[in-house]
């Protein structure tokens, strides 16, 4: 990777700032891309893609292509993170983050709402993929 002044602001799964955040760990059920909404099963400590929405998968350099089944997955449940936007969709800046229940991608006008979230910014990132900066504010829950 080269460094310079013409690099992207962020990419899917990257933390968007250095402020306080909370990332929880779960085992992956199936392959999970970075920067996608996932749903936790608190009974067996696993996460699946999409669903009803617990948080967004965090990028790791250890797994450059995403998480594999049974990998330990970092899921941001409180903080600011970049998430992948579904092609041809435009999220509403200032509105709640909506996502596709199957792909976990951020959507525009339709989809499930990620509780406690707001879309702060939308931009075109690497390889022409649209990403959205999502702020998640979730109180700590003990199941």
Q: What is the pLDDT of residue 12?
A: 92
Give the C-alpha separation, 92 to 89, whole Å: 10
Q: What is the pLDDT of residue 43?
A: 95
Q: What is the pLDDT of residue 1?
A: 43
Q: What is the pLDDT of residue 125?
A: 75
Task: List per-residue pLDDT tens for the chain, 143 residues long.
Answer: 444 555 667 899 999 999 999 999 999 999 999 999 999 999 999 999 999 999 999 999 988 889 999 999 999 999 999 999 999 999 999 999 999 999 999 999 899 999 999 999 999 876 778 999 999 998 766 65
Following CA atoms 8, 9, 12, 18 in sequence, which dihedral angle do they give, to the nearest 10 degrees? 140
pTM here? Answer: 0.91
Q: 3-state DSSP call for residue 128?
A: helix
Strand pairing category for 112-113 and 98-99: antiparallel
Q: Tokens for 65?
A: 């292509």
Q: What is the pLDDT of residue 5?
A: 58
């Amino acid at each position: 990777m080269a460094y310079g002044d013409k690099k992207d602001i962020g990419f899917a799964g990257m933390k968007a700032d250095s402020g306080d955040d909370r990332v929880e760990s779960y085992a992956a059920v199936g392959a999970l891309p970075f920067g996608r909404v996932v749903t936790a099963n608190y009974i067996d400590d696993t996460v699946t893609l999409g669903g009803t929405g617990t948080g967004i998968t965090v990028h790791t350099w250890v797994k450059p292509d995403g998480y594999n089944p049974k990998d330990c997955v970092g899921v941001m449940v409180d903080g600011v993170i970049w998430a992948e936007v579904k092609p041809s969709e435009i999220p509403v800046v200032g509105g709640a983050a909506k996502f596709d229940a199957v792909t976990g991608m951020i959507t525009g006008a339709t989809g499930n709402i990620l509780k406690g979230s707001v879309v702060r910014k939308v931009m075109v990132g690497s390889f022409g993929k649209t990403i959205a900066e999502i702020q998640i504010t979730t109180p700590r829950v003990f199941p």
